[in-house]
């Protein structure tokens, strides 16, 4: 595909449920980023991969959040035991010189 794709686009989860969000970056992009965007706010950095290596995970809000990119392409952001404050749009971006963003996954935790 020509751009970054994310799935699912929308996810409703019951509090305590585990969720997995997928990101397909632009083919050949080495760098991949995850951001969390709360309503009315700018995106907040979560984590960064270079190929399969997770070089920075300083933005992950708790140990319930886990990200992986085992083959250096597709990445998955997993949230365990979801809580209401996890409700947000989760954006993935891949980059060459500039970052290209996917449409995001809108997560609602009830």
Q: Establish if 107 lies at the interface with another protein (CB under 8 A).
A: no
Q: Establish if 52 lies at the interface with another protein (CB under 8 A).
A: no
Q: Give 18 or 52: the residue with its C-beta nearer to another protein.
A: 52
From candidates 13, 20, 29, 44, binder to another protein by CB under 8 A: 44
Stretch that binds another protein, among 22-30, 39-47, 60-68, 79-87 (CB under 8 A): 39-47
Say which residues have a Cβ less than 8 Å from residue 42's Cβ, sequence separation at least 6. Answer: none
From candidates 12, 30, 52, 56, binder to another protein by CB under 8 A: 56
The sign of the CA dihedral 57, 21, 100, 35 is negative
Q: Give 18 or 47: the residue with its C-beta nearer to another protein.
A: 47
90, 7 contact by CB (below 8 A): no
Cα distances from 104 to residues 8, 21, 30, 51, 53, in angstroms, run 9, 9, 19, 21, 22
From candidates 23, 24, 32, 33, binder to another protein by CB under 8 A: 33
Cα angle value 36/19/83 (rounded, 5°): 65
Q: Establish if 97 lies at the interface with another protein (CB under 8 A).
A: yes
Q: Establish if 4 lies at the interface with another protein (CB under 8 A).
A: yes
């Amino acid at each position: 595909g020509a751009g970054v794709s994310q799935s699912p686009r929308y996810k409703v989860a019951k509090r305590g449920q585990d969720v997995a969000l997928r990101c397909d970056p632009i083919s050949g992009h080495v760098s991949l980023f995850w951001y969390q965007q709360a309503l009315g706010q700018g995106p907040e950095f979560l984590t960064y991969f270079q190929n399969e290596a997770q070089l920075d995970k300083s933005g992950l809000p708790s140990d319930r959040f886990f990200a992986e990119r085992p083959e250096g392409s597709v990445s998955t952001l997993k949230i365990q035991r979801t809580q209401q404050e996890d409700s947000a749009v989760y954006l993935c971006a891949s980059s060459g010189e500039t970052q290209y963003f996917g449409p995001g996954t809108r997560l609602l935790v009830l």
